[in-house]
Amino acid sequence: MADIKVALVGNPNTGKSTVFNLLTGLNQKIGNFPGITVDKKTGFCKLPDTRTAEIVDLPGTYSLYPKSKDESIVFQVLADRNNNSHPDLIVVIADATNLRRNLLLYAQVADLGLPTLLVLNMADMAKKEGIAVDVDKLANRLGIQVVQMAARNNEGVELLKDAIANSTRISTQNYSINVNSFAPEAINAIKQKLNTANDYYALQVLHQHEHLANFTTKEQSEIEEIERKFNFDSSKLQGEETVARYRHLGTILDGVVTDTGAAKKFANTDKLDSILTHKVWGFAIFLLLLFIIFNAIFAWASYPMDLIDAGFGSLTEMGHEYLPAGMLTDLFLDGVVAGLGGIVIFIPQIAILFAFISILEDTGYMARVTFMMDKVMSKVGLNGKSVVPMIGGLACAVPSIMAARNIESWKDRMITIMVTPLVSCSARLPVYILIISLIIPEGTVFGIFNTQGLALMAMYLVGMVGAVLVAWIMKFLIKAKERSYFIMELPVYRMPRWNNVFFTVVEKSKTFVFEAGKVIIAISIILWVMASFGPGDRFENIENKYAAALADTTKNTQHIESLISSEKLENSYVGILGHWIEPSIRPLGYDWKIGIALITSFAAREAFVGTMATIYSVDGGDEDTDTIRERMLSSINSRTGLPVYTFATGISLMLFYAFAMQCMSTVAIVYRETKSWKWPIIQLVYMTAMAYFAALIAYQLLK
């Protein structure tokens, strides 16, 4: 449906995603590039001439030579004409405050010979820092359209749309360096072999053909044959090319950029860095920020959550009042609506968490956290860059494990993937919140800290410490294939772009509702069915058993009815399953009802709360507005006659959820990222064992 395909390319931290958001608005979707697992962000944009442009946002990279798996997609999309994201036009986004380094990527991309235009983003910041760019001169020298933008302030987006509309299908850029001279024989051999006229394409193929999926095994070995024949030295030639390109860029930019503010450019960032990466204050501020985030998740989110809770409560009540009574109504209200309520209620917390993460990334603070933590992280076998997946793991392990692709070292990346699911994700949050509210009395410590907030923070620390310990052990078990890197830009501090924060929050909440939601609704329905039916004539027998008592009008029938429903639940399919696993979980302090929740949670942790809602609303018999919390609190273990949710059971249960691999999506993503079943199976086994023993020890000590 698009008239023109446009690819956005640029260094990290250039505001590429802001430009993408400005062009496409909320009209964007996330998909996959076929064959690999990098997220593909596409969106549509109406051009001034009424044509529609399809915009693809490619991952940020400093060069076309991939240093990680994430970056290899950029060359694949731009070079392979058969790739279905192959663009008609490349838009290179460059940071105007650091033009020379940004233009290295432009020069490489331009030499591939596709129509290209250049965006000088952050023009306002450049101006403020005393950097003046002669745009016309630059456009002339490069032979392309150059657009100035300040995407953060929404400036220049119309100019960019005009430029896209004005672009031709024929490339106009001036070629820069003499690419052929680096390895003439090998390049000519490849050109002949692949039937291409582009020297740079041929050179890139020589450098990175092993990353390219579009060649057959036969072609791959033929390319390798050419490399051997002409002694193609990849590292040396990449170095020579980079030096030559920078030299050329020096002449291009001569007289184009005048920098009068180099000295004051970093004044603010320097001042902030001396505090934020300080030996004492740096760590103190980081911890304080984490605490503020958790406090916010607990305190701020409670208002919208109460509203949602009350809303779904009255919806169910009204439904039972006005809808015709029967099995379908019960399925709809107690299965579907109850399950839906269980999902929607966590949107406020997920939104707050992602708002914070996205603000920390956007301001440049996250890079400093990486910088501060690298020494510690590398001690336990991780990498400073593991901090982002691990902090992201606070939200969800699935995107975080995908984010681990930015770690170049294979060993560091594997360990990060293996331990990220131990970090307490948002799916554990509902479980923690429910249990904490049951076993920790509300109050304050030192007059300011909420006890329940502290308990929640403790659970997050438990997850983090577990992750660090396991990483440290794995450091000795996994053999390295290559060395670990840590060469990274520290961007200047900036105010967060509220637009981007908003887009991230919407995108992540949507992902949660639709991805986790599907599983939760499905489980809610299956569970309702399993809880409402039993094998053979068990249900009938129960009804017969109590028939006489019910007929006796002198007795209180309400009590008998609730006896019937609880006996029915115990004899339903789900009750039987819960009973079946009870002996193995009794040492952890759990009864068969918790057993049911553990079973459903193996699909997704957040199913715990939904399961509890279903079990206790079925159990309770009458359709009152009692919250799950109150029902759980008053539940009594039929074996011991004591409350089920004691302090010991609660702690044991939270530890189990902290360590267990109860997420099918994570298992799937680990398989996809490691390309073997070995890693997800190891992960599933070690995490389940860790969860069981931690819960066992905690319960036995505390009971």
Partner 1 sequence: MKLSQLNPGQKGTIVSFTDAEMSVKLMEMGCLPGEVVEVERLAPLGDPMAIRVAGYQLCLRKSEASVIIIQS
Window 6 to 25, contacts with partner 1 (CB under 8 A): none
Q: Is residue 62 near partner 1 by the rule CB under 8 A?
A: yes
Q: Is residue 485 near partner 1 by the rule CB under 8 A?
A: yes
Among 51, 236, 678, 703, binds partner 1 (CB under 8 A): 236
User: In the bound complex, what is the minimum distance in angstroms from residue 389's beta carbon to partner 1?
Assistant: 18
321 C-beta neighbours (distance < 10 Å), count: 9
Choice between 221 and 234, CB closer to partner 1: 234
234 C-beta neighbours (distance < 10 Å), count: 13
Choice between 270 and 537, CB closer to partner 1: 270
User: In the bound complex, what is the minimum distance in angstroms from residue 254's beta carbon to partner 1?
Assistant: 15
What radius of gyration do the chain's Cα atoms show?
30
Q: Is residue 376 near partner 1 by the rule CB under 8 A?
A: yes
Q: Is residue 238 near partner 1 by the rule CB under 8 A?
A: yes
User: In the bound complex, what is the minimum distance in angstroms from residue 307's beta carbon to partner 1?
Assistant: 43
Q: Is residue 231 near partner 1 by the rule CB under 8 A?
A: no
CA–CA dist 175, 191 (Å, integer) = 18
Nearest to 649 by CA among 693, 576, 583, 587: 587
Q: Is the dihedral of CA 472, 478, 482, 488 positive or negative?
A: negative
Nearest to 167 by CA among 118, 121, 112: 118
Q: How far is CA 11 from CA 58, 60, 95, 152, 702, in A?
A: 10, 5, 8, 16, 53
3-state secondary structure of 106: helix
Q: What DSSP designation does 334 have?
A: I
**Which residues have C-beta within 8 Å of that of residue 483, sequence separation ≥ 6?**
409
Nearest to 392 by CA among 356, 364, 428: 356
Q: Are 412 and 420 in contact (CB under 8 A)?
A: no
Q: Is residue 490 near partner 1 by the rule CB under 8 A?
A: yes
Choice between 372 and 403, CB closer to partner 1: 372
Choice between 43 and 491, CB closer to partner 1: 491
Window 268 to 307, contacts with partner 1 (CB under 8 A): 269-270, 273-274, 277-279, 282-283
Q: Is residue 264 near partner 1 by the rule CB under 8 A?
A: no
Helices (H), 209-280: 217-229, 234-253, 267-276
User: In the bound complex, what is the minimum distance in angstroms from residue 253's beta carbon to partner 1?
Assistant: 11
CA–CA dist 271, 553 (Å, integer) = 82
Q: Is residue 98 near partner 1 by the rule CB under 8 A?
A: yes
Among 34, 48, 239, 587, binds partner 1 (CB under 8 A): 239
User: In the bound complex, what is the minimum distance in angstroms from residue 295's beta carbon to partner 1?
Assistant: 25
Tokens encoding 687: 């995490």
CA–CA dist 72, 1 (Å, integer) = 27
Q: What DSSP designation does 35 have?
A: T
Among 1, 263, 327, 487, binds partner 1 (CB under 8 A): 487
Angle in degrees, 0-180, between the axes of helices 365-379 and 281-299, rounded to the nearest 10: 110
Nearest to 272 by CA among 384, 371, 166, 179: 371
Among 51, 375, 510, 559, binds partner 1 (CB under 8 A): 375
CA–CA dist 63, 436 (Å, integer) = 49
Among 104, 297, 521, 661, binds partner 1 (CB under 8 A): 104
User: In the bound complex, what is the minimum distance in angstroms from residue 255's beta carbon to partner 1?
Assistant: 17
Stretch that binds partner 1, among 164-172, 372-380, 394-402, 440-448 (CB under 8 A): 372-380
Choice between 494 and 672, CB closer to partner 1: 494
Q: Is residue 246 near partner 1 by the rule CB under 8 A?
A: yes
User: In the bound complex, what is the minimum distance in angstroms from residue 374's beta carbon to partner 1?
Assistant: 5
**Which residues have C-beta within 8 Å of that of residue 56, sequence separation ≥ 6?**
5, 6, 7, 8, 40, 41, 42, 77, 85, 87
Tokens encoding 620: 């309770």
Choice between 267 and 668, CB closer to partner 1: 267
User: In the bound complex, what is the minimum distance in angstroms from residue 361's beta carbon to partner 1?
Assistant: 16
Counting residues that bind partner 1 (by CB under 8 A) gives: 45
Binding site residues, partner 1, CB under 8 A: 62-63, 65, 67, 97-98, 100-101, 104, 235-236, 238-239, 242-243, 246, 259, 262, 265-266, 269-270, 273-274, 277-279, 282-283, 367, 371-372, 374-376, 378, 384, 485-492
